[in-house]
Homo-oligomer: A and B are copies of this chain.
Amino acid sequence: MTEASGCPVGVTTEHDLLAEVVTQQLEAMLAVGNYDAVKLLLQPVQPVDIAEAIGGLPPQLQAIAFRLLTKDEAISVYEYLDTAIQQNLLGLLRSGEMREVMEEMSPDDRARLFEELPAKVVRQLLSELSPEERRVTAELLGYESETAGRLMTTEYVSLKENQTAAVALEIVRRRAHDTETIYSLYVTDAQRRLTGILSLRDLLTAAPQARIGDVMTEEVLSVRTNTDQEKVARTIQRYDFLAIPVVDLEQRLVGIVTVDDVIDVIEQEATRDLYAAGAVQAGGDDDYFSSNLFTVARRRVVWLAVLVVASFFTSEVIAANEEVLQKVVLLAAFIPLLGGTGGNVGAQSSTVVIRGLSTQSISGLGPFRAIGREAVAGALLGLLMMVLVVPFAWWRGESALVGLSVGMSLLAITTLAATAGAAFPLLFDRMGLDPALMSTPFITTCTDVAGTLIYLQTAAWLVSNLPQLLQATGISTQLLTAMTP
């Protein structure tokens, strides 16, 4: 599927294969010291692929390979390396060599790297930066993580209203090499307050003598430095923007967030929701599959322990109802089925509600209507399941008592599970907490406790009341004898 790199048009869908081949060739060339071949090999490769190839090398070869890159390549490649390898290179390369890379990195990528480094190293690196880059980095590090302030870059093109389109285009040309994007342009007043935006498309199609103030759009959507990164992502996604301006409390333009960072945020948030649904604690940016087994266990054991302790209540409920189980042991055969079905119905409701909250598709419906809807859906599903489960339980449980207990509690359990599955995430959201925390496994386990209680209490009640009940409804004694255990 993958064509050799260097081929003029590469239809690439298997990056990993490409990176693997490059890594192998790279390692072989470095081993024999053929540095010219390395330069030739890497020349047509994209920075992100070079970064992955370097990441696959033994640590001592990483610095050698990195040194062989041109200055521009080194800067782009460095930004794509994993934090651990970035740190490794910092230590291996003499500081003089790294100063240039540090100086030229995007401010947002640099802030993300500095966050991971020991304070001592950060202080040294900051002292080597130019005063301007130092100020910008310190400023970005001052914003809370996962906010627009941390996500933004301070490299953007800003224009003034009274400039002409021709002058503005000249400014764009000059700034093209050192700004993250030149496709979205920002207009500010003397106090650096954002007064309008225009796209490079608008600028290119404007008459050369047109005033920027007349070409720009005054209705600007912006976010604040403390806006949550997920909201920033949703806004860019909704309006199909390439970038969004970030302003401070005084409406002064302080940075922009670009669409490529937003894709990563959307992916990160999706991973977080999925992990929550699977009772796994999400890590930071680090790669799950390269973290060690104790990190893996640590990220899971807390949730498991919580769920096990919740299961103790189910055990308590069963122990408390030992008497009815003693009488009809086959009742035990349906405890997992009822708990499981309740759990699954609860998981379905919480899944759609949590996802609806994430993508904001639930907001058309109010919370009460959403819960009501789920409750009715749960009851409907319970009725449908009864058709399947009651005959099986009656036959397998060898009595009407088991069949009726299972059927009656099934309906109650699915309704309750769907209601709880919808209500808990919505409640959490209202309280300002992450709804995904009220995750599927938690709802599953709670449903288990309640479901088992409902089932065994129903059975206990039927054991003492079924005969009278059947008599009252006029069912013959013969049938009665056949049906009760």
Chain B nearest CB from A9 CB (Å) reads: 5
B311 adjacent to A347 (CB under 8 Å): no
Cα of A315 to Cα of B370 in the assembled complex, Å: 34
CB distance from A238 to the nearest CB of B (A): 6
For this complex, 30 residue pairs linking A to B, each with C-beta atoms less than 8 Å apart, are A8-B220, A10-B221, A11-B227, A15-B235, A44-B218, A46-B239, A259-B260, A262-B263, A270-B273, A271-B355, A271-B359, A274-B354, A274-B355, A278-B351, A287-B364, A290-B364, A296-B377, A297-B381, A300-B348, A301-B381, A304-B345, A304-B381, A312-B337, A312-B396, A315-B336, A316-B396, A325-B329, A336-B339, A336-B448, A340-B448
A272 → chain B, closest Cβ, in Å?
10
Kindly identify, within residues 344 to 400 of chain A, every residue whose CB is under 8 Å from any CB belonging to chain B: 344-345, 347-348, 350-352, 354-356, 359-365, 370, 373, 376-377, 380-381, 384-385, 388-389, 392-393, 396
Can you name the residue of chain B whose Cβ is closest to the Cβ of A173? B204
The interface residues of chain B lying within 8 Å CB-to-CB of A259 are 242, 259-260, 263
The answer to whether B11 and A307 have CB atoms under 8 Å apart is no
Distance in angstroms from A12 CB to nearest chain B CB is: 5
A contacts with B: majority SS = helix
Residue in B12, B221, B309, B392 whose beta carbon sits within 8 Å of that of A46 in the complex: B221
A433 close to chain B: CB less than 8 A: no
How many copies of this chain does one complex carry?
2
Asked whether A105 is an interface residue with its Cβ less than 8 Å from the other chain, the reply is no
Q: Please list the residues of chain A having a beta carbon within 8 angstroms of any beta carbon in chain B.
A: 5-6, 8-13, 15-16, 44-46, 48, 169, 172-173, 176-177, 182-183, 193-196, 200-201, 204-205, 218-224, 227, 231, 234-240, 242, 247, 251, 259-260, 262-264, 266-267, 270-271, 273-275, 277-280, 287-290, 293, 296-297, 300-301, 303-305, 307-309, 311-312, 314-316, 318-319, 322, 325-326, 329-330, 332-337, 339-341, 343-345, 347-348, 350-352, 354-356, 359-365, 370, 373, 376-377, 380-381, 384-385, 388-389, 392-393, 396, 440-441, 444-445, 448, 452
Nearest chain B CB to A423's CB is how many angstroms away? 16
- What B residues does A183 contact at CB under 8 A? 183, 200, 242
For A221, what are the chain B residues with a Cβ–Cβ distance below 8 Å? 10, 12, 46
Residues of B near A9 (CB, < 8 A) are 193-195, 220, 222, 247, 251
Q: Which residue on B lies nearest to A267, using beta carbons?
A: B266
Q: Which residues on B sit within 8 Å (CB–CB) of A351?
A: 274-275, 277-280
**Closest B-chain residue to A273, C-beta based?**
B274
Contact A11 B231 (CB under 8 A): no
Instruction: Please provide the 4 A-B residue pairs with the shortest distance between their CB atoms, ordered closest to farther.
Output: A278-B351, A270-B270, A311-B337, A318-B333
**Shortest beta-carbon distance, A255 to chain B, in Å?**
14
Question: A195 contacts which of B8, B275, B336 (Cβ < 8 Å)?
Answer: B8
Residues of B within 8 A of A273 (CB): 270, 274
A287: chain B residues at CB < 8 Å are: 361, 364
Instruction: Among A218, A235, A239, A345, find the residue whose CB has the most chain B CB atoms closer than 10 A.
Output: A239
